[in-house]
Structure 1
Amino acid sequence: MDTGIVTKPHDALANTLSEEMTAVNDLIRRRMASKHAPRIPEVTAHLVEAGGKRLRPMLTLAAARLCGYSGPFHIHLAATVEFIHTATLLHDDVVDESGQRRGRPTANLLWDNKSSVLVGDYLFARSFQLMVETGSLRVLDILANAAATIAEGEVLQLTASQNLATDEAVYLQVVRGKTAALFSAATEVGGVIAGAPQAQVQALFNYGDALGIAFQIADDLLDYTGDASATGKNVGDDFRERKLTLPVIKAVAQATPEELSFWKRTIEDGRQTPGDLETALAIMAKYGTLDATRADALDWAEKARLALAKLPQDPIRDMLEDLTDYVVSRLS
């Protein structure tokens, strides 16, 4: 894995797409305005200006450029993708009762849950207005499906994340909902708006899907193995929040009766005591589930890389390939 050339491929993408991203940011600012409810731009600006990587809208712009698009509507689609992402973050922070995101207080903490939910709803509505302006029913279909899949994944996670019966197939369904659905929609609509051949559109979808899954698996693994100063999360936050992620699911599948009762007490019942995280890590080490999870993340990153082979040779394609390396380079 060569990550020496470009340390952060999303920075390289941002530099290459800077003109388009400026247009996207301008459009986002215009469309998050509200004549009658000033709280809407206040809440939205807090999140939109928080310094996120803007990876999803960049994927839309990159896909459109890679397929030779020169029209105006990739800007609309990139803004749409960012609005959907921001709306889901606002809703997620309420559901998770989060107090912090990207190192800053969450909107629900600074304002209240009602504001976060309603402003999220407003952004969803704005995203649909932007989609319609492209005049493409197919684009509308893809992004509407993605929005439904995201919501479905979040609801599934409510029941699955503390249920020891959750297996890897259900976990994958949750991950496709909460992360990969928007990645794959972001790349797919870039190809569709460019009028790319179906094989290229499918390749873009496959790339986004696999990249999103690799990204989320890596995130879930870093919760147990990462450096808190680099990830912004404390090691074991998912365990303390009783979230059943892939490393634990793999351990539960092989558990002895005694280990199963440990997982039931800590994850299902939520009765955790000092030293439980260390016990959880020891059980995972016993079965090698952290290494197995890392291998899964690398496999998905490789699937993303292979999908790019069907797309035109271009510096943008090279950057997208570097991105697959970068997503999992955090695990080495």
Structure 2
Amino acid sequence: MKDVVAGSTGASGLLGQIDELFGDDLVRVEQIFAEELKSWHPFVNDVLGHMTRFRGKRLRPILLLLSAKACGAVTHDHLVLSAVVEMIHTATLVHDDVLDDAEIRRHVATINSRWNNETSVLLGDYLFTHAFHLASGLESTLACRLIGHSTNLVCEGELAQIHERGNQDLTEAQYLEIIEGKTAELCAVCCQLGAHFADAGEATTAAMREYGRCLGIAFQIADDLLDVLGNEGETGKSLGSDLKKQKLTLPLIRLLDQSSPEDATEIRRLLADPTEPNRDKLQKFVAGSDAIEYAFAQANEFAQTARQQLAELPDSVSKRLLEEITEFATQRSW
């Protein structure tokens, strides 16, 4: 690979450099993924085939492989674990689409809209069970324990978010606690596994875990902003689901916190009845506040904190690509 920095190439250039560095490894990860999930039943294979159309850029396997390479070298265990974390992440997406009544993801019909909620729930379960079956084949049981613990935290975060639906008094600290579980934890364990199975020391492994945690928080804040601001035709996913489900995200928390008592009362009324006309009215309040700028600033701060963790690593192409990912963490279109 050419020893280049991704800085001026944009998000597509960054992904191209990652593919250049890990193309063969990512192909093998996909093979492991497919081999583990293949079924004797045609319908199951049909559903799995449809699912592969909206799986995205494989961020979590990429984080695991980059962490491994930056700390030493990629091994077969890393390839297996990359397939494992991709299964778990995909399972959460499939279940999220049910929870959010989402109809599209990456311009493709979700499993629940293409078939039904029962198929989605069972497919998510199928992915979870296969992930742990695959991880259990490694000589070390550490990966299973770490991934199991992280998956528990992901589910706790999702349950907490469901519990807090409609809670218009949700604080920023509570919001961050929720997204640290439901999104950041899996990114954190990917980087931790990459470092550990590359024989990195404890300090480096801890730094890589913190990198993944902060990066995941930045990504989720940006995703929540996308739900408020994004164009569905451009993003390829159902938007506005947070408002419909009365999930209070960072922009709205900031909006309520900074509004006058009179405006706050009206905003709470609109949030409690998220019809399309009321969402349009709410957008006017958002546009007249610093809620969007504040949330972007918070996302960028977490991205910067993630980047600082990489000081533990020696200079390498992989390290610089990890740095570049933090630059694009708040640009969720990639």
Fold shared, TM-score > 0.5 on shorter chain: yes
Worse overlay, 129-138 or 148-157: 129-138
8 Å CA contact 1:242, 1:266 repeated in 2: no
1:271 CA drift (Å)? 5.2
Deviates more, 1:91-100 or 1:295-304: 91-100
Distance apart, 1:217 and its partner CA: 0.9
Aligned to 2:192: 188
Report how far residue 255 of structure 1 moved. 3.3
Q: Distance in 2 between matches of 1:286 and 1:70?
A: 49
Aligned to 2:283: 281
Where 2:330 maps in the other structure, the secondary structure is helix
Q: What is the CA-CA distance between 1:27 and the residue it aligns to?
A: 0.6
The range that moved more, 201-210 or 108-117, is: 108-117
Distance, in Å, in 1 between the alignment partners of 2:217 and 2:267 is: 25
Are the aligned partners of 1:156 and 1:174 in contact in 2 as well (CA < 8 Å)?
yes
The aligned runs of 1:157-306 (5 Å cut-off) are: 157-232=161-236, 236=240, 238-267=242-271, 269-270=272-273, 272=275, 274=277, 276-306=278-308
CA contact (8 A) 1:139 1:192 kept: no
Matching of residues 4-43 of structure 1 within 5 Å: 4-8=8-12, 9-35=14-40, 37-43=41-47
CA distance in 1 between counterparts of 2:74 and 2:65 reads: 11
Distance 2:275 2:74 in 1: 56
Report the Cα offset of residue 220 of structure 1.
1.6
Q: Which residue of 2 aligns with 1:132?
A: 136
Percentage identity across paired residues of the two chains: 35
The code of the aligned residue for 1:256 comes to S
Larger CA deviation: 174-183 vs 25-34: 174-183
Distance 1:226 1:99, change over 3 A: closer
Q: State the Cα deviation string for residues 36-58 of structure 1 (Å, max 9, x = none).
A: x4333322221224351011111
Q: Which runs of 5+ in 2 are unaligned?
A: 1-5
Pair 1:134–1:230, CA change in 2 (3 A): same
- Partners of 1:223 and 1:233 within 8 A in 2: no
Alignment pair present for 1:149 and 2:153? yes
Q: How does 1:307-326 map to 2 (within 5 A)?
A: 307-326=309-328
Q: CA deviation at 1:182?
A: 1.1
**Which residue does the alignment assign to 1:61?**
65
1:288 shift after superposition = 1.2
1:106 Cα deviation (Å)? 0.8
Code of the aligned partner of 2:307 = R
Inter-partner Cα distance in structure 2 for 1:43 and 1:69: 35
Structure 1 pair 49–230 and aligned structure 2 pair: CA distance change class (3 A): closer
Greater shift after overlay, 133-142 or 317-326? 133-142
CA distance in 1, matches of 2:99, 2:232: 23
* CA RMSD across the alignment: 2.2
Question: Secondary structure in 1 aligned to 2:315?
Answer: coil
**Distance of 1:19 and 1:149 partners within structure 2:** 32
Alignment CA distance shift 1:140-1:229 (3 Å) = same
Contact 2:64 2:78 survives alignment (8 Å): yes
- The residue type paired with residue 128 of structure 1 is F
Change (3 A) 1:118 1:315: same
Structure 1 residue 85, shift from structure 2 partner: 0.8
Q: Which moved more, 1:110-119 or 1:81-90?
A: 110-119
Counterpart position of 1:104:
108
How far is 1:71 from its partner? 2.8
Question: Is 2:79 the counterpart of 1:113?
Answer: no
CA distance in 1, matches of 2:288, 2:186: 35
Query: Aligned equivalents of 1:113 and 1:308: distance in 2?
Result: 41
Q: Is residue 214–residue 327 contact of structure 1 (8 Å, CA) maintained in 2?
A: yes
Seen in structure 2, the aligned counterparts of structure 1 residues 273 and 66 have a Cα distance that, compared at 3 Å, is closer
Pick closer, same or farther for the CA change 1:13–1:195 going to 2, 3 Å: same
Matched residues, number:
327
What secondary structure is seen at the aligned counterpart in 1 of 2:199? Answer: coil
SS at match of 1:328: coil
Instruction: Name 2:3's counterpart in structure 1.
Output: none
**Is the alpha carbon distance of 1:278 and 1:212 closer, same or farther for their aligned partners in structure 2, counting shifts above 3 Å?**
same
